[in-house]
Amino acid sequence: MNTETFNPLQVVQRQLAVAAQRLGLDPGIYELLKEPAKVLEVGIPVKMDDGSIKVFRGWRSQHSHATGPTKGGIRFHPEVYLDEVKALSMWMTFKCGVVGLPYGGGKGGIRVDPRKLSTRELEQLTRKYVDSIAEIIGPEKDIPAPDVYTTPQIMSWFMDEFSKLRGYNVPGVVTGKPVENSGSAGRSSATARGCMFVIREAAKQINLPAAGTTVAIQGFGNAGSNAAKLLNDIGCKIIAVSDSKGGIYDPNGLTPSDVIAHKAQTGTVVGLAGAQSITNEDLLTSNVDILIPAAFENQITTDIAKRVKAKIVAEAANGPTTPEADEILFNKGIMVVPDILASAGGVTVSYFEWVQNIMNFYWTEAEVNQRLEDIMVKAFKQIYDMHTNMNVDLRLAAYMVALQRIANTIKSRGWI
């Protein structure tokens, strides 16, 4: 498989520059937004189960607080690095701007493989990380959330540790918590549900009916597995899925609940009875109507893009398509629903959770899902209108919609 990669910070800076130029914005806007406003790097010492001390590297990046407190997930991953965290915080600013949330973007990361830690070690790592960044986070400053390899349980430890430091409960310091610990109904499926809503709207634009529409999903974590269930529920046929260990394919359609149960039992989707084994490259280039990259950055490269057959690519992951690949897909007439829109359901329901925490008044799952649908459908329409009116692809249209909102706020605050 082509190993073409791009520095994600350079990618998002390039996207920002193009959008700013197309909108004719004051160059000062780009200067304010091209780098995060604040980045904290910390060493996190943890006493391991064997008695040794290990120090893990961690970061928290706060891109912009022009429109409100910063907001964004924390990923625990063995290959996370500073520029990735900075880029992800910038993407979060634009993701919040796309759907009109009163947030700027934040992101955190710890370089660790959490699958190799015991529960006690993982809890200690989480609590020590909170201790290290406590001065720069809080409900009015910066609100973390789950991301790659972080869970509601980790968020619960996070909230508990911060509350201990403050001396009182502070549920609004973090979102993505378990429902029983001040979390929001509907949060666990929110990223996938938001993606499903915009896929549905995109499909209408090209007269693609849901019934029988074929789908391939790269990445079968929270977003990918929930997307499989939700799309299956509206009549789509999930014919291929994959995870870090490989993929499976069934032209007659996979049953999402069977795949989820198999992965829970074996740790991978590979080996499901009755399904053929395929590679991630096979999945990305499979003959399907809708392709959902829901894994990591730089998955659709120029080589892959030339062979993509899908009519719609909906980016449930952050930055899965390289810039050159993006251009190839556009020239092929493939509709790319960009990450800052397609994956915005998670931060939208995180916003709902934060609001509920502050009010100490909680909504039903039906209310949450309806509010999410309203926001995602409205955002898609605004972006599609920008795409049509300005003759740009959906990615640039999304950046332009978000950046215009952010720029207006910056100007009204007198920063430019």
Whether residues 101 and 229 share a domain: the answer is no
Question: Which residues, 6 or more positions from 131, have their beta carbon under 8 angstroms from its beta carbon?
Answer: 161, 165
Whether residues 168 and 212 share a domain: the answer is no
Whether residues 122 and 209 share a domain: the answer is no
The confidence score (pLDDT) of residue 206 equals: 95
Whether residues 167 and 233 share a domain: the answer is no
Whether residues 39 and 164 share a domain: the answer is yes
Question: Percentage helix, strand, coil, to 5, in the chain?
Answer: 50, 20, 35
- Quote the tokens at residue 89: 């915080």
Whether residues 142 and 253 share a domain: the answer is no
Q: Is 71 a residue of the active site?
A: no
Whether residues 254 and 307 share a domain: the answer is yes
Q: Is residue 400 part of a domain?
A: no
pLDDT tens for 144-160 read 999 989 999 999 999 99
The amino acid that residue 39 corresponds to is: V
CB 108 within 8 A of CB 158: no
The confidence score (pLDDT) of residue 1 equals: 42
Q: What SS3 state is found at 300?
A: strand
Nearest Cα to 346, choosing from 107, 45, 22?
107
Q: Is residue 273 part of a domain?
A: yes
The residue from 145, 173, 201 where one domain ends is: 173
HSE value, Cβ hemisphere, 13 Å, CA-based, for 348? 32
CATH number of the domain that 85 lies in? 3.40.50.10860
Rounded-to-integer distance, Cα 182 and Cα 143, Å: 14
Sign of CA dihedral 139, 143, 146, 151: negative
Whether residues 254 and 160 share a domain: the answer is no
Number of separate domains in the chain: 2
pLDDT tens for 26-54 read 999 999 999 999 999 999 999 999 999 99
Rounded-to-integer distance, Cα 258 and Cα 181, Å: 30
The residue from 312, 342, 372 where one domain ends is: 342
The confidence score (pLDDT) of residue 4 equals: 58
The residue from 296, 321, 342 where one domain ends is: 342
Whether residues 222 and 117 share a domain: the answer is no
The confidence score (pLDDT) of residue 37 equals: 97
Q: At what angle do helices 8-23 and 323-331 cross, to 10 degrees?
A: 50
Q: Is residue 374 part of a domain?
A: no
Whether residues 84 and 146 share a domain: the answer is yes
Whether residues 273 and 317 share a domain: the answer is yes
- All residue ranges of the chain with pLDDT < 50 are 1-2
Rounded-to-integer distance, Cα 41 and Cα 325, Å: 32
> N- to C-terminal Cα distance for the chain?
46
CATH number of the domain that 323 lies in? 3.40.50.720
Q: Is residue 163 part of a domain?
A: yes
CA–CA distances in Å: residue 264 to residues 67, 138, 227, 365: 40, 34, 17, 25
The amino acid that residue 331 corresponds to is: N
Q: Is residue 284 part of a domain?
A: yes
Q: Is residue 282 part of a domain?
A: yes
- Quote the tokens at residue 142: 């910066």
Of 107, 177, 229, 237, which is the active-site residue? 107
Q: Is residue 180 part of a domain?
A: no
**Structural domain harbouring 146:** 35-173
- The structure's pTM equals 0.93
Q: Is residue 85 part of a domain?
A: yes
Rounded-to-integer distance, Cα 258 and Cα 128, Å: 38
Backbone Cα Rg of the chain: 20
Alpha-helix residue ranges (DSSP H) falling in 4-151:
8-23, 27-33, 82-99, 119-133
Whether residues 114 and 236 share a domain: the answer is no
